[in-house]
Amino acid sequence: MTLWPVARAPMPAAMSAPARGQRLVKVAYHSFPPCCPARASHAPPLHMPGGAGRTMSNRRGSTNRSDAWQREARNTGYRTRSAFKLKQIQERFGLIRRGDTVLDVGCHPGGWSQVAVEEVGEDGAVIGVDLKGCAPVDGCTFVVGDITDEGTQQRIRDALEGDVLRVVVSDISPGLTGQYEMDQAISTELVCSVFDFAYPLMGSGGVLVTKVFQGRGIEALISAANTRFSTVQRFSPDASRNSSSETYLVCRNRKEKPSKGTGTMSVQELVNRSLADDGFVIPAGESDERREAGRVGFRLVKSTSGDDE
């Protein structure tokens, strides 16, 4: 398991009470500085706030089921229990075909790459990318680096040797800080990066599967994904932990061109525009120092009513 370093945001400084006509609003920062390199393969699951309220019996049931997948992974030779998530996605949708070229983003320790190699067969190709190197998997080429880094992206293009990607699978996650809104926002940023890098390398009709965390921004992300793919739906494999907020976007039939009306906007720009419309993105005028302080913070905004809320 690779945990990409993500700086923990400092606690907000003590703030004076808002003046009349203003209210204190917690906002998620989705316009990130390039200080958070791309992010982790199969990291620990992100849990929804309030998970501590689960009963002991529920937690025990979730743990037992998790242990069952871990035992099954050991028995079948997969490097990680999460391999069964991709197997279940494949069983449900049949996305990977014989002879396909597949990119596995956030591939360490290689469980998803093992599944992809099985599905593409001898005539296919699998490329895995992660910050941390993996032990070799027959039939897979590993690229070590940050998926958001141009140098890493070029090495992936070189490994393709002119082939067109038909399938992109991503189980990528940030190094978790324990602050749910921050972790969920950084995860959304990472997923946008995967979309924006992979889309130009994919052929018409291609498919992309990526892990996402439930929360603010997911509807905007789905809307943006629909500008690139004809069908976008959520799917939660049985192998996912009950307590995890993760789900997977299954994006099928890559469009030859992005939908009309989106111009040249990237997926990240489309998501940020939607979040800005809802008041959740830091305005461009905010200082760089404020942006770099963290992903979740506080600011004063004018209340829509004449009285404090």
Query: What is the structure's pLDDT at 270?
Result: 95
Residue 298 has pLDDT above 50, yes or no: no
Helix axes 267-277, 218-225, angle to 10 degrees: 140
Per the model's pLDDT, the better-predicted residue between 234 and 29 turns out to be 234
Residue 286 has pLDDT above 60, yes or no: no
| Catalytic positions | 211
At position 164, the amino acid (one-letter code) is V
Determine the average pLDDT of the residues in 223-251.
91
Integer-rounded Cα Rg, in Å, for the chain is 20
Residue 255 has pLDDT above 70, yes or no: yes
Per the model's pLDDT, the better-predicted residue between 67 and 32 turns out to be 67
Q: Which residue has the tokens 């956030």?
A: 106
Query: What is the structure's pLDDT at 277?
Result: 82
Q: Let me know: does 271 contact 195? Beta carbons within 8 Å.
A: no
Q: Let me know: does 164 contact 124? Beta carbons within 8 Å.
A: no
Determine the average pLDDT of the residues in 56-61.
43
Query: What is the structure's pLDDT at 216?
Result: 84
What pTM was estimated for this model as a whole?
A: 0.73
Q: Minimum mean pLDDT among 99-108, 117-126, 162-171, 281-290: which range?
A: 281-290
Fold of 37-259: Rossmann fold (3.40.50)
Q: Minimum mean pLDDT among 151-160, 216-225, 238-247, 269-278: which range?
A: 238-247
pLDDT tens, position by position, 27-43: 333 333 333 444 445 55
The share of the chain scoring above pLDDT 90, in percent, equals 53
Residue 252 has pLDDT above 90, yes or no: yes
Beta-carbon contacts of 307 under 8 Å, excluding residues fewer than 6 positions away, are 20
Residue 191 has pLDDT above 80, yes or no: yes
pLDDT tens, position by position, 69-114: 778 777 777 998 999 999 999 999 999 999 999 999 999 999 999 9
Tokens of 240: 């996912």
CA 225/CA 261 separation, integer angstroms: 14
Query: What is the structure's pLDDT at 70?
Result: 78
Per the model's pLDDT, the better-predicted residue between 181 and 114 turns out to be 114
Residue 137 has pLDDT above 90, yes or no: yes
pLDDT bin (cut points 50, 70, 90) of residue 64 is low
Average pLDDT, the chain: 77
Secondary structure of the chain in HEC code, one letter for each residue:
CCCCCCCCCCCCCCCCCCCCCEEEEEEECCCCCCCCCCCECCCCCCECCCHHHCCHHHHHHHHHHHHHHHHHHHHHCCCCCCHHHHHHHHHHHCCCCCCCEEEEECCCCCHHHHHHHHHHCCCCEEEEEECCCCCCCCCEEEEECCCCCHHHHHHHHHHHCCCCEEEEEECCECCCCCCHHHHHHHHHHHHHHHHHHHHHHEEEEEEEEEEEECCCCHHHHHHHHCCCEEEEEEECCCCCCCCECEEEEEEEEECCCCCCCCCCCCHHHHHHHHHHHCCCCCCCCCCHHHHHCCCEEEEEEECCCCCCC
Determine the average pLDDT of the residues in 104-125.
97
Per the model's pLDDT, the better-predicted residue between 142 and 185 turns out to be 142
CA 163/CA 157 separation, integer angstroms: 9
Query: What is the structure's pLDDT at 176?
Result: 79
Determine the average pLDDT of the residues in 123-148.
96
Residue 24 has pLDDT above 60, yes or no: no
Query: What is the structure's pLDDT at 45?
Result: 56
Q: Let me know: does 191 contact 218? Beta carbons within 8 Å.
A: no
Residue 119 has pLDDT above 80, yes or no: yes
Domain ranges for the chain, please list them.
37-259
